[in-house]
A = this chain, B = another copy of it.
Amino acid sequence: VEHPAKATNRETREHNERLVLATVYDSGPVSRADVARLTGLTRTTVSDVVEGLLASSLCEEIGHGPSTGGKAPILVEIPSEARLLVGVDLGDQVFTAAIVNLRGAILQRVDAPSESTNGEGALRLAIDVMERALSLAGAPVLGVGIGAPGLVDASAGTVIQAVTRDWRMLPLGPIVADHFGLPVYVANDCQAAVLAEHVFGATRGPNLITVKAGQGIGAGLVINGETFPGDGYGAGEIGHTIVDPGGRMCRCARRGCLETVASMPAILVELSDRLGHPISQEEALRQFRLGEPDAHEVVLEAGRQLGAALGGLVGALHVRRFVLAGTMAAFGEPWLEAVAAAAADRALGALAADTTFELGRIDDVVVLGASALLMTRELGLSLHPFGSPRPPRTPVAVAVAGAAAASTPGLAARLGAAP
């Protein structure tokens, strides 16, 4: 029988460090006195923590604020590039590694076509794009966040299974951590996508579902402010739920999966059938925008099929906000409306009325989600912290792949001295 561990002094210190860091990140430039006021911590504690953050160059003094009678207070802030994040998207068609700042801006990016590579070759290509991105970083790097396809054990950094890459039980996180000597976090790409919306998006509230519809279809869930991987990392794997028994053959060797009726390949197959010749994604998009009837009909039907599947989730989870991303989102508002209408048709009226579907407004959603994973796990930072109704937590060390973060000293100590 396990019990909650007692709160130790170390945990309390790290909790307070994260609290100060998050406050300076959100409210900076800010004085130490204001940080004390905002956090409820004593001025001595705040000063101690800020000293540590200054010593590690994570925080900077940037001059004096207005005096409120006495001495003008010194203001501190967290420079956007105090640390850089490497965000990686191991996409179906392209591998991308980008240098991202602490506010979610992409500073540099390296892309490599990835469609024809798998196994060891795909792993080498992934490390290669990261290496090239790292060589472009102009400031100290916090670590690497990776959005990977397939079932991913995010606590160990292992890709359990990624059929498209022929990866099985690949310890991707530890391999990359060993290679670069940096902390590395790995998550499923759809779970990274939902984290991008949660951390860098305009989101409020503790719950969010992001649906990525493109080559495949998958969802990512944020539940109570945390990505929810399920009991075995498969949460969000909605693409291979059968919605049309006896329908078209799927790449998973069964018939009528959601992907066979609502993904980009599905509409290209259907359009090709109608037109009597193959059609590219670009051409389908062009025809849709021109209002070509076949393209319109096929795309909206795909939207309705996706919406009908999501309708089941509306009732089961009552999560108010669904964000749609992936290449299908390029079909824009008409497609979105088809999705939303079909979902509403399927769900209990009161719940449907309470649920919004919107298009993701974040480009490079997996790159940014992987960066967000790294930033939240290493620093506890989020651009949009939400007011959780739940008890505050004493943060403890998160399992990190690789030796670089194997021990768990205080946050400032772990970040090292100013480089």
Taken together as a complex, chains A and B put the C-alpha atoms of A245 and B7 apart, in Å, by: 54
Q: Are A241 and B346 in contact (CB under 8 A)?
A: yes
CB under 8 Å from chain B, chain A span 6-54: 6-7, 12, 15-16, 18-19, 22-23, 26-27, 38-41
Closest B residue, CB atoms, query A161: B350
A224 partner, pick from B39, B223, B245, beta carbons under 8 A: B223
User: Chain B contacts of A15 at CB under 8 A?
Assistant: 4, 6-7
What CA separation (Å) do A1 and B151 show in the bound complex?
34
Residues of B within 8 A of A232 (CB): 318, 320, 351, 354
- Please give the distance in Å from A39's CB to the nearest CB on chain B: 6
| A170, CB-defined interface residue at 8 Å | no
Q: Is A372 an interface residue (CB 8 A)?
A: no
Q: What is the minimal beta-carbon distance from A170 to any residue of chain B, in angstroms?
A: 16
A354 — which chain B residues lie within 8 A by C-beta? 231-232, 234
Contact status of A241 and B40, CB under 8 A, knowing A1-B27, A5-B392? no
Chain B residues within an 8 Å CB radius of A6: 15-16, 19, 39-41
Find residues 373-394 in chain A having any chain B CB closer than 8 Å to their own CB: 385-394
A267 to chain B minimum Cβ distance, whole angstroms, is 21
* Given contact pairs A3-B23, A309-B312, A394 touches B396 in the complex (Cβ within 8 A): no
A395 lies within 8 A of B385 (CB): no
Residues of B within 8 A of A317 (CB): 221, 228, 230, 235, 316
Q: How far is the CA of A346 from the CA of B238 in the complex (A)?
A: 10
Residues in A lying within 8 Å of B, measured CB to CB: 1-7, 12, 15-16, 18-19, 22-23, 26-27, 38-41, 151, 155, 161, 205-207, 219, 221, 223-224, 226, 228-242, 245, 252, 254, 309, 311-321, 345-351, 354, 385-396
Known: A223-B223, A224-B224, A318-B231. A3 touches B385 (CB 8 A): yes
**In the complex, chain B residues whose CB is within 8 Å of the CB of A4:** 15, 18-19, 392-393
Q: Which residues of B contact A312 (CB under 8 A)?
A: 238, 241, 309, 312-313, 316
A317 and B315 CA atoms in complex are apart in Å by: 13
Q: Nearest 3 pairs between A and B by C-beta?
A: A230-B318, A234-B318, A4-B392
CB contacts (< 8 Å) of A385 on chain B: these are: 1-3
Complex-state Cα separation, A314 to B229, whole angstroms: 12
Pair B229/A226 contact, Cβ less than 8 Å: no
B-side contacts of A240, CB under 8 Å: 315, 347-348
In the assembled complex, the CB of A188 is this many whole angstroms from the nearest CB of chain B, namely 11
Given contacts A4-B393, A16-B6, A393-B393, contact A228 B237 (CB under 8 A): no
Contact A19 B38 (CB under 8 A): no
Give the chain B neighbours of A350 by CB distance below 8 A: 151, 161, 234
- Residue among A230, A254, A313, A346 with most chain B CB within 10 A: A230
Q: Check B351–A234 contact: CB distance below 8 A.
A: yes
> 24 A-B residue contacts at CB 8 Å?
A1-B26, A2-B388, A3-B22, A4-B393, A7-B15, A206-B231, A221-B316, A223-B223, A223-B228, A224-B228, A226-B390, A230-B317, A231-B354, A232-B354, A234-B318, A234-B350, A234-B354, A235-B316, A237-B315, A237-B351, A238-B312, A242-B347, A316-B316, A391-B393
